[in-house]
Amino acid sequence: MASHYDLEEQEQLAQIKHFWAKYGNLITWILIAVLGAFAAWNGWQYWQRKSALEAAVLYEELERAAQANDGEKLRRVWTDIQSKAAGTAQAQQAGLLAAKVFQTEGKAEDAKAALNFVVSKTSDEGMAAVARLRLAALELDAKAYDAALKALDAKVPAAFEGLQADRRGDVYQAQGKADEARQAYKDAYAKLDQAPDYRRIVEAKLNALGVDPSAAP
């Protein structure tokens, strides 16, 4: 009886050896791939958390510098954010804040660079729309009308369409293109039905161009 079990065990061992000889390398590589992917995922998660934490700390520093009107420190922190945490949501918020400070300081080119950074890095369509609207305003102030219109050319979320049309009207008005300005303001008026305060501003612009807002499509 014992020899019978020994024979069965030997056969099982032989089968296992044969199976491992045939598929051992494949199994090993599959395990390596799975464990490697798991390690990479954990590493990526760790990097994401570390980047987000670092970005949050840097953003707080940027806010403090802005509140203290410390332009030198703000620029230093903004540079750090761009190099260390460019892909984070905090970096995009920092770009909007930095642009606002730069504009207040009269540093239009620095403000444009910060806004372009936000546009190029963010995956948030709303944040990109805000950056484009501000960028268009800066280009309009500089009388760079083509650049302003280009900034307004991108598709934006529905909530921003009225603001975009209004800003486009401002550009056309500055160019002396009254017909285009009227149409842009009409579009803005129609799309700002959920923003009555801003809509009144557009209404005043239409009145100045001899348009009855109630007739706007």
Name the least confident of 49-63, 69-83, 158-172: 49-63
- Which residue do the tokens 């958390």 mark? 49
Radius of gyration of the chain (CA): 30
Residue 11: predicted pLDDT? 65
Entry pTM: 0.74
Specify if 40 maps to a domain: yes
Query: Domain range for residue 93?
Result: 28-105
How many domains, the chain? 1
Specify if 34 maps to a domain: yes
Specify if 113 maps to a domain: no
CA angle 56, 160, 190 (to 5 degrees): 160
192, 193, 189, 196: which is closest to 211 by C-alpha? 189
117, 116, 99, 115: which is closest to 107 by C-alpha? 99
pLDDT in tens, 138-173: 999 999 999 999 999 999 999 999 999 999 999 999
pLDDT in tens, 12-39: 666 656 655 665 565 555 554 554 454 4
H/E stretch holding 147: helix 145-151
Specify if 100 maps to a domain: yes
Specify if 52 maps to a domain: yes
Specify if 46 maps to a domain: yes
pLDDT in tens, 104-121: 999 999 999 999 999 999
Q: Residue 59 pLDDT > 70, yes or no?
A: yes
Specify if 203 maps to a domain: no
Name the least confident of 54-58, 61-65, 66-70, 198-202: 54-58
- For 88, residues 6+ apart whose C-beta sits below 8 A from its C-beta are 51, 52, 55
- Band the pLDDT of 216: cuts 50, 70, 90: very low
Specify if 201 maps to a domain: no
Q: How many CB atoms lie within 10 A of CB 202?
A: 26
